[in-house]
Structures are given as C-alpha cells and as structure tokens.
Amino acid sequence: MYMKDVPVDVLNYIMSVLRGLYFGEVVLIAQNGVLIQVERTEKMRVHPWQGIPKPAEWSEDTERNLRRTIERELASLYYGRLSIIVKQGTVTHFDRLEKQRFMDGDGI
C-alpha cells in the first residue's frame, strides 16, 4: 500500500519549516497512507550564548532534490514516521520508522 499524494500546500509548508531550522528535526507522521501530522522540534544551544543563528539560503537544486526525496520517502510509508534531521541549517539525514498492523489473528 502506498501513501496518497501530499498536497502541494502541505509540502510547501514542510519545506518552509525546514528552511527556518538551524538545529532540530521535522517529523512527518503517516496513518493509513495519509500524512496526518507534522511536528517541528528546534534545538538551541544556550551556553555559550552566541545569539540566534540563521540558516543559509538553499540553492534551487538543493530544494528540488530535498522535495523529491521527501515525496519519494512518503510515497512508500503507510504507517509510521519520517524524521528529517537538520544540523547547522542543513538536512543531514532521514530517520524512518515504519510500523505494521496485523488485523487478523488471535490475540490481536
């Protein structure tokens, strides 16, 4: 089973959240092949305080490749979560947790 297409407005929102992060993660949660939730966690080092850092601008290629990767990863996620990790304003990696539901069987 595959995820339904993510609406363009939702994908644009996800990209804008990612562009605004310096350290943190964005978690996309899927259920029944539908993206149901977007969570944002931002981390900030307060010691030693050096002000609020701003991420650098992304190139068009970077943004296009990241958007394609998110769409591809979500397309095959039916139940679970996709975490997009950001360090120093750059997406460093994706963590994927896929869950399985077994609807038939004893004790389930």
Give me the pLDDT at residue 6, please: 87
Q: Are 34 and 4 in contact (CB under 8 A)?
A: yes
Give me the pLDDT at residue 2, please: 62
Residue 108 predicted with pLDDT over 60: no
Q: List, for residues 27-84, the tens digit of each pLDDT value.
A: 999 998 899 999 999 998 777 777 778 888 999 999 999 999 999 999 989 999 999 9
Give me the pLDDT at residue 47, please: 75
Cα 46 from Cα 13, distance rounded (Å) = 28
Distance from CA of residue 12 to its chain's centroid? Answer: 12
Look up the pTM and report it: 0.85
Nearest to 74 by CA among 24, 37, 34: 34
Cα 81 from Cα 90, distance rounded (Å) = 20
Give me the pLDDT at residue 30, please: 94
